[in-house]
Amino acid sequence: MSPFLQHYTLKFTPLSPVHIGTDESYEPGNYVIDEEVGALYGFDSSAALAGLSAAERQQLLAIVNGKPDDAMLTSVQAFFHGHREKLLAFANAPVPTATGIKSLYEKRIGKVAQHEAQGKRVINKLEIDRTFYNPVDRSPLLPGSSIKGAIRTALLDMLNDEKPLKDRNERNQQLQQRLFQDGKFHTDPMRLVSIGDAGWHGSPEKPACQIRFAVNRKRKPVMKDGKLVQSQAEASNLYQLLECIVPQHYQSFTGSLTLLDTLSIGQDDRKLPKQHLHWSIKDIAKACNAFYMHLFWQELHGMQEQGYLKADWQNAIQQILEGGLLKRLNDGDAFLLRLGRHSGAEALTLNGVRSIKIIKGRGEKPDFSSSPKTWWLAAEEISDKRNLLPFGWVLVEIDPKSPDFQLQQWLESNNAELTHWMQSQLNKQRALKQQAELRQQQEQARIQAEREQAEQERLKAEAEQARLANLSPLDQEIEAFLKPIQPQEHDTRLLQELDKGRWQGSDAKIVAEKIKALMEQAGKWMHDFAGENKQKLKLKERSLKVMNYLKD
């Protein structure tokens, strides 16, 4: 390694649910939920087709070829819901859902949510925002840009040292340039900090993600006319459905951080950040802990005061910090970060200059404050006001030589049920896949048998055509005449036509030979019968008549 490159391995442990947006979502057209166990299974169109029979694929095709309106979308939703067992076999790994989501899905899938003023139907699309993921193996990912952005905020806050803006017109970009003493790309000190994406390294025996509600709750109780005032989102029963990385895996992400030590090689200061802005890894850890630890405790105490916070989660966090983690944070061996959606405006703005826009009721002008008035929190049910968790808290360990056993034990001892759930669902998925593969083999065997039968019939038809082509015109006429007649009547009907004079001369004799052969084959030829049986006497008479044609 070059002397000016200082490389560090970072291990990331989510302490609370983390959602980093991707502008992608699960939609009912590419996922189903097994309501019995609350498992979401995402799939693509090829997987959906693989799980369905030929008749079911035709049924789906008929639906999607219809008019692209709400009725078609609800029909697609209902179709996939009705055939979910077959789709599970070819879906991605199961994702557990919060308690209330499976019942919400069951009530709304394939149904109309409401009607607008003009009577227009509004369907339940049931989109679930996806968290950032690796497109190759679909495992969650912490993008380096998000990590670097969180570190940048902490370093800016350290440099600002809670001072106010230079003047009321100073904008965010101007503030950053002033604090970093740069105006160009090559003098930005974050240019010397390179951070890669943090890849997933959690156990495959446990879910990496979970679907949760994000609900809005007031930070402080507000009374009006003797009644407790809810937040606008809470009063409107607004919520979000988010795929979140679960805080169940110790050191579940691994990434890297590289610092460029340009001072050691004597570069021109005019083309580099100022010397005091060349940070060490300890400087970065100190800045992050100073900024985020304050927000962490402030949020936890505030949530605890309102009774929102899940008590056993907070108790465990406090015990782990007191058990040695706090010392590691203070020593700069690890640091805290806030990543992703619903991290809170405080985690995105600097102390001393923070001015957060507060949206009020309809018709009221917005206000500005140094702190938000609400939290977005992770919940199991839309109506929950207890056992909630904050979003986005992540512990980062720098080149850890040994695991934090207390933290590891807490995470792993509290997810035995989730591990059992995952194993059970994977076993079910494998069994369904075996059944599906057997159905596919049977269907392919049936299709192959039908093809072979069709080929045999084609060859038979070709042979028949060749045989007919080799017949004389008279034989072809006889074949055509006899085709709609029952075989047991062939001799009788030919004799009737012969008697009518349809054939003459040599053609009549040929037809008579044909009649004789048919009668002999059927045991009807009795030209020399000498008994008294009336039926046989009729056959004798018919036989003699044919013989008369043969004499001519």
Distance in angstroms (rounded) separating the CA atoms of residues 132 and 139: 9
pLDDT at 307 > cutoff 70: yes
Strands (E), 74-196: 95-96, 112-115, 121-123, 128-131, 141-142, 193-195
The predicted structure's pLDDT at residue 94:
93
pLDDT at 283 > cutoff 90: yes
Mean pLDDT for 235-264 is: 88
The predicted structure's pLDDT at residue 359:
64
The predicted structure's pLDDT at residue 134:
94
User: In 274-359, which residue ranges form alpha helices assigned H by DSSP?
Assistant: 281-306, 311-320, 326-330
The predicted structure's pLDDT at residue 28:
77
**Residue range 376-425, pLDDT digits in tens:** 999 999 999 999 999 999 999 999 998 999 999 888 777 778 888 999 99
Nearest Cα residue to 428 out of 84, 52, 47, 45 = 84
**Residue range 474-512, pLDDT digits in tens:** 998 998 899 999 999 999 999 999 999 999 989 989 998
**Residue range 156-177, pLDDT digits in tens:** 999 999 898 888 788 888 888 8
Of 309 and 354, more confident = 309
Mean pLDDT over the full length of the chain:
87
**Residue range 74-93, pLDDT digits in tens:** 888 888 888 888 888 888 99
Mean pLDDT for 236-263 is: 90
Angle at 279 between CA 274 and CA 283, to 5 degrees: 140
The predicted structure's pLDDT at residue 120:
46
pLDDT at 464 > cutoff 60: yes
pLDDT at 205 > cutoff 90: no
**Residue range 421-454, pLDDT digits in tens:** 999 999 999 998 898 888 888 888 999 999 999 9
Distance in angstroms (rounded) separating the CA atoms of residues 23 and 127: 11
- Burial letters for 394-417: b for 16+ Cβ neighbours within 10 Å, e otherwise? bbbbbeeeeebebbeebbeeebee
Angle at 298 between CA 294 and CA 301, to 5 degrees: 140
What residues contact residue 90 under an 8 Å CB cut-off, 6+ apart?
43, 47, 48, 50, 51, 433, 436
Q: What is the pTM of this model?
A: 0.80
The predicted structure's pLDDT at residue 151:
97
Residue 215 β-bridge partners:
239, 377
The predicted structure's pLDDT at residue 35:
82
Q: Binning pLDDT at 50, 70 and 90, where does residue 337 land?
A: very high
The predicted structure's pLDDT at residue 188:
86
Mean pLDDT for 205-215 is: 93
